[in-house]
A and B are shown apart, each in its own frame.
Chain A
């Protein structure tokens, strides 16, 4: 799949996602209207639309807050900024994304933003302390690939819509549970369907969001290898992530799909009660599979032992 095809496929998927969520939203609002009151259903729908638009507009700062990513001033971390600039040039991005730093010992990175011009790449301090330059470059290239493929755009939309659905379903469920059905219409069947719908809707949205994310990771790995012309660097970086066991402190499920490696897997499953379905809800494919894909693409085998290179932070005297 070429880059342009990938971008177009992502645009198409975005339309599907939007459409899917609108349908899902309409069903939930319809259930609320049916079981409780028509005006409440309409109110829920309008509220969801307003909330959704607001969330899209605010998504940039929302992601920054959820990931605890801090802005880095122009003069700070120049070697890292240059690395990001070079990777962006190699990827042919029109502008270099903004650089953000997450003060966390777990090595990880993420990308976010609706448009390439307004995107940012966040890296953790742990990543800088763990990865040598070559692998750090690969991780950054992975994130830049997400931006170039418009993955960030699609995923931001999916995140926002999933949040809206969860909220509305929650409202419906609660008003059903606490408000009783004083003005209840329809029989017991409608009620049961509504309850099941309210309970399952957030998971349906979540499932859709997750399934979108996983294939993307392979493509971003491949994109990173192409940008740097170095699949081995990407594989090495993934292996280093695999051998590291630091969990990220602020693992927020809402932004799990943004990171280069799933930040939540090691903490706990996404939500209680879905342990049996965890692999379906995983935001990322297993690291071993991703390394294997790189090895196959580049025609090499990684050794068990990682090369003992100097981490970037130490090399640049940033620690």
Chain B
């Protein structure tokens, strides 16, 4: 009789631990989703700015066709990217293409002085800053989630319940996740 009670007690404790663990994984996964949504919003915003920028530059430098095509292609690649890692890679290519576009713009003083161009340039720089901020947050949440999913004992039932490790938003392994640890001194 005693053994039965002990068995029941152990099962109850295990059930509680499992429920808490499951909820924790769900919470961490939701944080990743929010983090990714933040990046997506900024990628979208950047994508929306680019056609205007291309138009603005075309007005002064219509013959620089190669750069325009490159930027347009890179923009489409970001929008079609399948996952965080490929989106990050496409985004890096877009950043490089935009760099060349701005280099071209350097040669046209009237363009550089135009109010419209200056505002677009400022907005793009701001969006890039926001993408990198959102990236830091997203990668930190992915780091936490992946650690939880891959560590014992959660890895035992993370798989069956569909908790899979997430991709970082980074092209080449550099996650931008802080490598410092903090002791909470009092």
Contact = CB atoms under 8 A, between A and B. Distances in A.
Contacts of B35: 92
A43 B131 CA distance: 56
B186 interface: yes
A229 B178 contact: yes
Contact of B130 (A89, A219, A227, A297): A89
A2 B27 CA distance: 13
B144 interface: yes
A82 to B, nearest CB: 5
A82 B136 contact: no
Interface of B is mostly: helix
A299 interface: yes
A90 interface: yes
Interface in A253-302: 289, 293, 296-299
B130 A85 contact: yes
Interface in A69-85: 82, 85
Contacts of B42: 89
Interface in B87-110: none
A89 B184 contact: no
A25 interface: no
Interface string B159-178: 00000000000000000111
Contacts of A219: 184
A14 interface: no
B184 A92 contact: no
Contacts of B177: 229
A293 B181 CA distance: 11
B180 interface: yes
A47 B42 CA distance: 50
Size class of B's contact patch?
20 to 34
Given A1-B184, A89-B137, A92-B31, A225 B178 contact: yes
A215 interface: yes
Contact of B38 (A1, A89, A218, A222): A89
A218 B186 contact: yes
Interface in A198-229: 214-215, 218-219, 222, 225-229
Given A89-B130, A92-B34, A229-B136, A298 B180 contact: yes
A214 B185 CA distance: 10
A299 B180 contact: yes
B126 interface: yes
B12 interface: no
Given A215-B186, A222-B184, A293-B185, A82 B129 contact: yes
Contacts of B178: 225-226, 229
Nearest to B35: A92
B136 A90 contact: yes
B144 A90 contact: no
B54 to A, nearest CB: 23
A243 interface: no
A4 B27 contact: yes
Contact of B183 (A92, A296, A298): A296
B134 A90 contact: yes
7 contacts: A86-B129, A90-B133, A215-B184, A222-B184, A226-B180, A293-B182, A297-B183
Given A89-B38, A293-B185, 10 more contacts: A86-B129, A87-B133, A92-B34, A92-B38, A218-B186, A225-B178, A229-B136, A293-B182, A296-B183, A298-B180
What are the 10 closest A-B residue pairs judged by CB atoms, nearest first? A90-B133, A222-B182, A89-B133, A92-B137, A86-B133, A229-B178, A297-B182, A89-B134, A297-B180, A86-B129
